């Protein structure tokens, strides 16, 4: 099983999904926000949230803004916890469904029984939130729910490319070994990092909030037929996997390099086409997170 240090969306992308979920719950389920905030205040690393909150400009320190930032923090926390052995679960962030262009099995979405992947992790943490566990345990699990719903909407966290260049079993490691350049003068980065960074690059509270507001306005719930699909498994197996095949790897036609110092140049319109796909995925993540939380935390 491959593992990698890259994030699914960067931390700020996760903060955006948390902010979208907050806005959705604020509209219809204020009591859910209150309950989640109360539980998260018993998180074993809540003091780190307080430190980050206190470092913000004092003009942001209303109680409402503090709860909004708490949602942002919860969504990114599993990435910040990667250096803590107690909380780090690197294999929870993805599932490696293989995509093999040109093969009759190129839609073969294999799962390994007992594998601790993103689908396993989502159900495990949902069970904890709905159990009689302590609020401290529930707080950690809630953060994982925030994060995993974001992760599963990044197409390269559901897919590995298998070709003669990227062989089984690792393939291209969810795009982490598939090296590209955005334009001729750009430095080489992985395809995975390119998709991670499409939403936002700043953790500034106001910038994250504004980005979430813009995405939510651009992709309104009523205009997203995908929301009829409510099963986490299918968000991974059907939606994100299909986007990876068709839009990320361009049905196997996207060229990449295995040389981390000399990436292949992306097609001319690739970046412009990818941005709205990422924003739509982020809006789905935010809406679905709100729905998951409203159902799980009553």
Residue 178 in this model has a pLDDT that exceeds 50: yes
Residue 64 in this model has a pLDDT that exceeds 90: no
User: Would you place residue 202 in the very low, low, confident or very high pLDDT band (cuts 50, 70, 90)?
Assistant: confident
Question: What is d(CA 29, CA 143) in angstroms, rounded to the nearest whole number?
Answer: 18
Query: In this structure, what token pair is assigned to residue 244?
Result: 């990876």
Residue 264 in this model has a pLDDT that exceeds 70: yes
Residue-by-residue DSSP string for the chain: ----SPPSS-HHHHHHHHHHHHHHHHHH-HHHHHHHHHHHTT-TTHHHHHHHHHTS-GGG-SHHHHHHHHHHHHHHHHHHGGG-TTT--GGGG---EEE-TTSTTTT-----TT---HHHHHHHHHHHHTTT--HHHHHHHHHHHHHHHHHTTSGGGSEEE-SSSS-TTTTTTTTTT-EEESSTTSPPEEHHHHHHTTS-S---HHHHHHHHHHHHHHS-GGG-GGGG---HHHIIIIIIHHHIIIIISGGGT---BS-TTSPEEPPTTHHHHHHHHHHHHHHHHHHHHHHHHHHH--
Residue 3 in this model has a pLDDT that exceeds 80: no
Residue 112 in this model has a pLDDT that exceeds 80: no
Question: What is d(CA 7, CA 122) in angstroms, rounded to the nearest whole number?
Answer: 17
Mean predicted confidence (pLDDT) in 27-41:
97
Mean predicted confidence (pLDDT) in 38-67:
87
Residue 106 pLDDT: 63
**Are 205 and 63 contacting, i.e. CB atoms less than 8 angstroms apart?**
no
Question: What is d(CA 271, CA 161) in angstroms, rounded to the nearest whole number?
Answer: 20
User: Would you place residue 105 in the very low, low, confident or very high pLDDT band (cuts 50, 70, 90)?
Assistant: low
**Are 286 and 216 contacting, i.e. CB atoms less than 8 angstroms apart?**
yes
Q: What percent of the chain has pLDDT over 90?
A: 83
Residue 7 pLDDT: 47
Residue 57 in this model has a pLDDT that exceeds 80: no
User: Would you place residue 10 in the very low, low, confident or very high pLDDT band (cuts 50, 70, 90)?
Assistant: confident
Pairing relationship of beta strands 179-181 and 189-190 according to DSSP bridges: antiparallel
Does 2 or 46 have the greater pLDDT score?
A: 46
> What is the chain's mean pLDDT, rounded?
92
User: Would you place residue 62 in the very low, low, confident or very high pLDDT band (cuts 50, 70, 90)?
Assistant: confident
Mean predicted confidence (pLDDT) in 189-201:
93
Residue 139 in this model has a pLDDT that exceeds 80: yes
Residue 104 in this model has a pLDDT that exceeds 70: no
User: Would you place residue 238 in the very low, low, confident or very high pLDDT band (cuts 50, 70, 90)?
Assistant: very high
Residue 192 pLDDT: 96
Half-sphere exposure of 189 (CA within 13 A, CB side): 16
User: Would you place residue 8 in the very low, low, confident or very high pLDDT band (cuts 50, 70, 90)?
Assistant: low
**Are 1 and 91 contacting, i.e. CB atoms less than 8 angstroms apart?**
yes
Count CB-CB contacts under 10 A for residue 210: 14
pLDDT in tens, 282-295: 999 999 999 999 99
Residue 1 pLDDT: 39
Count CB-CB contacts under 10 A for residue 83: 8
User: Would you place residue 58 in the very low, low, confident or very high pLDDT band (cuts 50, 70, 90)?
Assistant: low
Residue 107 in this model has a pLDDT that exceeds 90: no
Mean predicted confidence (pLDDT) in 81-92:
93
């Amino acid at each position: 099983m491959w593992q990698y240090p890259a994030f699914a969306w960067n931390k700020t992308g996760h903060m955006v999904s948390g902010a979208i979920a907050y806005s959705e719950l604020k509209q219809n389920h204020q009591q859910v926000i209150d309950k989640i905030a109360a539980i998260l205040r018993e998180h074993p690393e809540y003091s780190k949230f307080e430190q980050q909150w206190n470092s913000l400009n004092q003009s942001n320190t209303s109680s409402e803004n503090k709860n909004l930032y708490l949602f942002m923090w919860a969504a990114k926390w599993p990435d910040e916890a990667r250096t803590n052995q107690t909380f780090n679960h690197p294999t929870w962030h993805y599932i490696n469904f293989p995509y093999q262009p040109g093969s009759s099995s190129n839609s073969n979405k294999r799962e390994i029984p007992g594998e601790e992947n993103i689908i396993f992790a989502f159900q495990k943490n949902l069970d904890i939130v709905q159990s009689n566990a302590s609020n401290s345990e529930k707080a950690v699990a809630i953060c994982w729910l925030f994060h995993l719903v974001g992760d599963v909407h990044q197409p390269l966290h559901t897919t590995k490319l298998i070709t003669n260049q990227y062989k089984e079993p690792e393939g291209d490691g969810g795009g982490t070994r598939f090296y590209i350049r955005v334009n001729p003068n750009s430095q080489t980065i992985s395809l995975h990092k390119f998709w991670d960074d499409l939403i936002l690059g700043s953790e500034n509270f106001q910038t994250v909030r504004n980005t979430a507001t813009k995405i939510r306005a651009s992709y309104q719930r009523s205009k997203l037929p995908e929301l009829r699909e409510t099963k986490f498994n299918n968000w991974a197996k059907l939606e994100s996997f299909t986007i990876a095949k068709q839009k990320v790897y361009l049905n196997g036609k996207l060229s990449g390099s295995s040389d981390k110092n000399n990436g292949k140049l992306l097609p001319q319109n690739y970046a412009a086409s990818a941005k709205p796909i990422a924003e739509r995925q982020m809006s789905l993540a935010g809406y679905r997170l709100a729905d998951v939380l409203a159902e799980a935390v009553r």
